[in-house]
Amino acid sequence: MTTPCDLGGQGVLVTRPRAQAAELSALIQSVGGRPILFPTLEILPPVDADLPRTLLTQRWDIVIFISRNAVSGACDLLPNLQWLEGVQVAAVGKATAKALTQIGHGPDLVPPGRYDSESLLELPALREVTAKRILIVRGVGGRAHLGDTLSERGAAVAYAEVYRRARPKIDADLLLEDWHRSLGFVTATSDEVLNNLLGMIPETEQPWLKSLPLVVFSERGAGSAMELGFRVVAVANAASDEAMVEALCRVHLNRPVPR
């Protein structure tokens, strides 16, 4: 981390799924913040597992994992990992690459820098893909940009949707009193996470929440947040927990000093 700071005990709303919040929460604590867990996404198995399981067993030239949920979802459907032997494996993000390494299949292709689909598409192995068979492992209804671009480049693309996302049933009303006392920042790793957050709190509380600094992973996400009415939006330098905390520090250090 290149921007150390002391958040002075201010609360940071952590909105990612609960099972994925531990590392970010620990990093927030390491810079003097108080992580406040409020997962706005729940990761569930697909309703019908037969189609993605069948796709996983077919022969592919390249298999791209969109997220660590894609890695764990694929392993749940097909624990025997022999289907990955002899295949070029790609990971969109740092956390996804780590998840693949942990199951013994470290990725062959990982984008540098921002760790996103756009960066992955810049890799030489994905620029010349005419007649290549490419499987994208993702959740139900994921973003189409990666697959569409690879199809335009001549690849035969299919999607194995190995998990689905849902909005958790949490009563935010019981938490708002504490939030008003301690919450200083909001984090969101995707547009869906942010939209779910707004859908889970009373409409009367949304102007206050949107007045708090928000940290997101991409310029695209920042644009969506600004359209929703968030006033201060910072973009992490990469799609990683470390970069998110660095962005939190950047916002904190640039805040005007109260007079």
Give the integer Cα–Cα distance in Å for 244 and 237: 8
Query: What percentage of the chain carries pLDDT values higher than 70?
Result: 96
Q: Give the containing element (helix H, strand E) for 146.
A: helix 145-152
CA 37-184-221 angle, to 5 degrees, is 75
Checking if the pLDDT of 115 tops 90, the result is: no
DSSP state of 173: G
Mean pLDDT, residues 193-200: 96
Checking if the pLDDT of 257 tops 50, the result is: no
Beta-bridge partner residues of 65: 91, 137
Q: Give the containing element (helix H, strand E) for 176.
A: helix 176-182
Domain 11-41+169-254 matches domain 44-166 at the CATH topology level: yes
Checking if the pLDDT of 103 tops 80, the result is: yes
Mean pLDDT, residues 65-94: 91
pLDDT at 142 (0 to 100) = 76
Yes or no: say if 36 and 11 are a contact pair by the CB < 8 Å rule. yes
pLDDT at 3 (0 to 100) = 64
Mean pLDDT, residues 228-246: 92
Checking if the pLDDT of 182 tops 90, the result is: yes
pLDDT at 256 (0 to 100) = 58
Give the integer Cα–Cα distance in Å for 232 and 229: 9
Q: Which of 174, 241, 254 is nearest to 12 (CA)?
A: 241
The first and second tokens of residue 114, run together, are 């921002």
Query: Residues 116-135: pLDDT tens digits?
Result: 788 899 999 999 999 999 99
pLDDT at 259 (0 to 100) = 36
Third-level CATH fold of 11-41+169-254: Rossmann fold (3.40.50)
Give the integer Cα–Cα distance in Å for 259 and 249: 21
Q: Could you tell me the CA-to-CA distances from 225 to 69, 77, 143, 185, 197 in Å, in that order?
A: 24, 35, 17, 14, 12
Query: Residues 1-32: pLDDT tens digits?
Result: 456 799 999 999 999 998 889 999 999 999 99
Tally the C-alpha atoms within 13 A of residue 105's C-alpha that lie toward its C-beta.
24
pTM of the predicted model as reported, rounded to 2 decimal places: 0.83
DSSP symbols for 182-221: HEEEEE-SSHHHHHHHHHHS-GGGHHHHHTS-EEES-HHH
Checking if the pLDDT of 225 tops 60, the result is: yes
Third-level CATH fold of 44-166: Rossmann fold (3.40.50)
Yes or no: say if 65 and 74 are a contact pair by the CB < 8 Å rule. yes
pLDDT at 50 (0 to 100) = 95
Q: At what angle do helices 191-200 and 219-228 cross, to 10 degrees?
A: 30
Q: Which of 94, 97, 138 is nearest to 237 (CA)?
A: 94
The first and second tokens of residue 176, run together, are 């708002």
Domain ranges of the chain: 11-41+169-254, 44-166
Spell out the residues 6+ positions from residue 97 whose beta carbon is closer than 8 angstroms to its own. 91, 106, 107, 110
